[in-house]
Structure 1
Amino acid sequence: MVYFDNAATSHLTPKVIERMTQVMSQVFGNPSSLHQDGRKANQLLRQCRQELAQALAVKDNQLIFTSGGTESNNLAIKGYALANQDKGKHLITTSVEHHSVLHTMSYLETCGFEVTYLEPINQTISAQQVKEALRPDTILVSIMYANNETGDVYPIEEIGTLLTEHQAVFHVDAIQVIGKLSVHPQELHIDLLSASAHKFHGPKGCGFLYHNTLKLTPLLHGGQQENNRRASTENLIGIAGMTTALLDCLAKEKENLAQIYGLKASFLKQLDQLGVNYYLNQGANSLPYVLSLGFPETNNALLLTQLDLAGFSLSAGSACTTGNIEPSHVLASYYGKTSPRLKEVIRISFSEYNTLAEVLALAQILKKVIKH
């Protein structure tokens, strides 16, 4: 199989597998235990936290290790809202967020919070929209860095700067960006930032939340791990793999970006040369790692099935709606619920481990499948 669904998950690299195997065999103690094995595990945990903090240019006590992006988003939004509702009960997000944000917001609405959902204009969310939605009782704004279905990048720094003049804290779901671009939350005026290891060649079931030393209500209760912010024994094997993966990706950031831009350009050029009729489903500012394409009068469910049979793994959008190709809430927000684009668009998400031969082969098979 040729894999082009890296926005859903990415494979572990040999370097990450080697590091995790080493930890599994040599550092099996509980980081909270006081004996030598526990102290050894705790030392590795502190080392990983420090290395990740350095990569983000933050303090190590500002990172909370989690089980992944969904938990990080839940802890950021639910944790802050419940702990600070005395300041207000109004929240702002967008209609194109990942479901781990949208469903968390829906839950908080049942708890008496009021949520404003910003609709995209020209496939983006502007700082002006946020400014107009702010109220004296707004306590949190949650906007993703880059959309997981289309790759569109939203003006995070501009929104963060705007919020420095307001009590509302700024949460950013950076799950599609961490590991691809260097992100320094404090420079961008981000107060809460979510990341997930398996999006940048780390293991599934591991992630982190950056917090600007904020008061959060824990989601899990039990032990005193993570400075009393998240009970449960830390997933040291996963954390070690995540740290290795992120540092490795950031060390090759410019090289990887150049490669991905090249793959994307070569793929689109090949489609043009083959005479394939398609349209780009992205705004002016988008990540090269995610390519959202539509093929007029071509059903995406049938197209993806044929591509799968031909040995190519792609998707129509978020992997969290697995089992069905339902109309995308992102595309519905962009074009309306009755737009034919909702059933025509597929997502191709690249990795630096994809090759030129693979993208050219994908263009060829697309022409063949669409023609028939």
Structure 2
Amino acid sequence: MGKIHGNDPTGYSYGDADALKSAATGLASAISGQKGSRASHVTTASREFRGYFSQVFADNADVASRGASELVDALQSLSGFVEQLREAAKQEDDRRAKAKAWAARKKEREDNVLVAAAHEVGTWFGADDDPKPPEPEPEPHRQADAVTVSGRTIPAGGGGGGGGTSSAVPADLRSFQSGVRSCDESLAGAVSTFRNALTDYESGCNPCWGTLNAQSLVTAVNDWLTANGQDAAWAGTVAAQFEAAGGGTGPATLSDASISAALAAAGIDATRDDLTIGPFSAMGRAAGHPGQPAAERCRGRRDVGGDRRHDVEGPPADFRGEARRRDAAGTGSRLPAHRSEWEHRSLRWPIQVVGSIRNPPIRTRPRTPRCALRSRSD
């Protein structure tokens, strides 16, 4: 992340934030909207499916469905994270703008004694004392933990690699295969939009203010789609075995061993892989002192005659001494109690200078002492 430059704008890209929020919400809606059609494809394939591999098929479909639900939840959470970062960045930009304006007014009072005097007089009559802008709001810090969706262990019984059998209608499995592929293809646009929006956010927002780490969601979506493709290939491979056994629109029966061998030959696992959605997070960025950059805090340091005087601030020593004498005499200005000792002095000093300008001392010739006059007369 880039450094914070005093009260300059953060440079946060609100357009990229809005685009990512929209893309995450859009992908979540697209995946959620397919739940009904995907469940229908599973129901169709399961109508005449019996035996060990029917249970494997049902469990794979369950992992896919639960994985889709977890992805939807994660994408919606990410959208909320982005909204919080955006709102926090907006508040920070607003605060910086106010702090920058306040710093400019403060500098003008420091550089122009007339402005300082007018401001001080105004506060005596109830005008705003122009306090510092408030400190930054607490930063957002959101963390989503990793989530894993796992399948169940299905007892093989006499099948899987032994003497068990499974039966199904090949056409039903083909319907599932084409239906899953169609659903996945319809998500391609939303997935691409989300991936690009996240990349744009990382380049347009992360270097400026806050940090969003969410590439784990892109990985999880890709893993889920890859597993969906494997499910479709699984159904097509098993359907081909039933078709070879004489099935078509009616059921056919095969040994579980032959189905296992066909899947292994095609390089397809019998069971679907677990889906893991890695952790993702959104963290804000501290803004430092509101309205007093480091350069301004160091502005009072100056060298005098080669000797460094640390943190020398305020009016010259003669004015500070005069301020103390006025305090001792009880003639100091009545200032708000919340001001610091230096603020009391810095605000009295311009008034004294203005008074000296308005009422300059009258320069006259020095009087001759009386004793000298007597000596002359004598």
Indicate the structure (1 or 2) with the bigger Cα radius of gyration: 2
Query: What TM-score, normalized to structure 1?
Result: 0.19
Structure that is richer in helix per residue = 2
State the TM-score, normalized to the length of structure 2: 0.19
